[in-house]
Copies of this chain bind each other. A is one copy, B any other.
Amino acid sequence: MRIDNLQYCNWSQTVFEQMHQGGLTGVHVTVAYHETFRETVANLEQWNRWFERFPELIFPGRTAADLKTAEATGRTAIFFGAQNPSPMEDDIGLVEILHQLGLRFMQLTYNNQSLLATGCYEEDDTGLTRMGRQVVTEMNRVGLVVDMSHSADRSTIEVADHSSRPIAITHANPGWWHAARRNKSDAVLDAVLGPKGDHGGMLGFSLYPHHLKGGTDCSRADFCEMIARTADKYGAHCLGIGSDLCQDQPDSIVEWMRVGRWTKEIDYGEGSASAPGFPPQPDWFRDNRDFPGLAEGLAAAGFDAGEVAGLMGGNWARFYETSFGPVDG
């Protein structure tokens, strides 16, 4: 069972074949950064065409049971997520509609203030908004997971408190390891995972170079050592991978992620004017074929076989089981 809980590749037969070669059971893929509802639906239409074209490699994932189907048939189940609430526009009724169309994760913010909460690039964090509280309750009802990867601290802590169900940070690393704007404070990790990892929430470790100590030059051993130290505090059971792999994407895509339609000026986000594009991946994690190596690194960092299996996918699978539908369904 291998799950990568965040990717946004330039999808192709090659990428899907590499998922198969890397033994990926499930992948959570981003279907919207700044898209409206209708634009998100157009992205889902494109996914339907890929499902139709490559049925021997991928199929739509909706429930944890689809992971079993993926294992049994040697394919990869694709789970949808949005990195921004833009697909639901200003309409709480779209929460359930998006869930019916397969959305299983939704970030409440992408860097900026949204209608729901504050993003991690704003100067002031005013926490969960009035609409944000209503939407989190609705997401709890239908089984759409709240993802706070790109949100600010206060907003994240308030959501962890308000949400009746565990939430997730699908792709980030601890800030004590590498103090990037997108990495997470101890207070945020305590709120999401629980001070002893007892809140039911999940953290997916990111392999996006801006989130890594040393960036592109970060070693696999350093990365796995960081995971081991995180597990010392929270336990390994609430940790997984959310690689943030953006394989084969042109630099115009990272500009779209950062700039969307919210500014006429360039915003470099985690990059800079001198390095505006996607940073190169570490040489030990370039594509889905590198997942077996990651498992080796985790074993070398001291995790036992059960813990490695959990970190590589079992923990996300357990989270999926209780998160993707109504509580009583």
Contact = CB atoms under 8 A, between A and B. Distances in A.
A305 B44 CA distance: 47
A96 interface: yes
A48 interface: yes
Interface in A36-72: 37-38, 41-42, 44-46, 48-49
A280 interface: no
A62 to B, nearest CB: 10
Contacts of A327: none
Interface string A81-103: 00000000001011011001110
Interface of A: 37-38, 41-42, 44-46, 48-49, 91, 93-94, 96-97, 100-102
Contact of A97 (B41, B91, B94, B96): B41
A49 B101 contact: no
A102 B101 CA distance: 10
A95 to B, nearest CB: 9
B45 A41 contact: no
A318 to B, nearest CB: 27
A131 to B, nearest CB: 16
A41 B96 CA distance: 11
A93 B48 contact: yes
Contacts of A101: 97, 100-101
B96 A45 contact: yes
Contacts of A48: 93, 96-97
Contacts of A91: 42, 45
Given A37-B38, A38-B37, A45 B100 contact: no
A49 B94 CA distance: 11
Contacts of A96: 45, 48
B37 A94 contact: no
Contacts of A93: 42, 45-46, 48-49
13 contacts: A37-B41, A38-B38, A41-B94, A42-B91, A45-B94, A45-B96, A46-B93, A48-B97, A49-B93, A97-B101, A100-B100, A100-B101, A101-B101
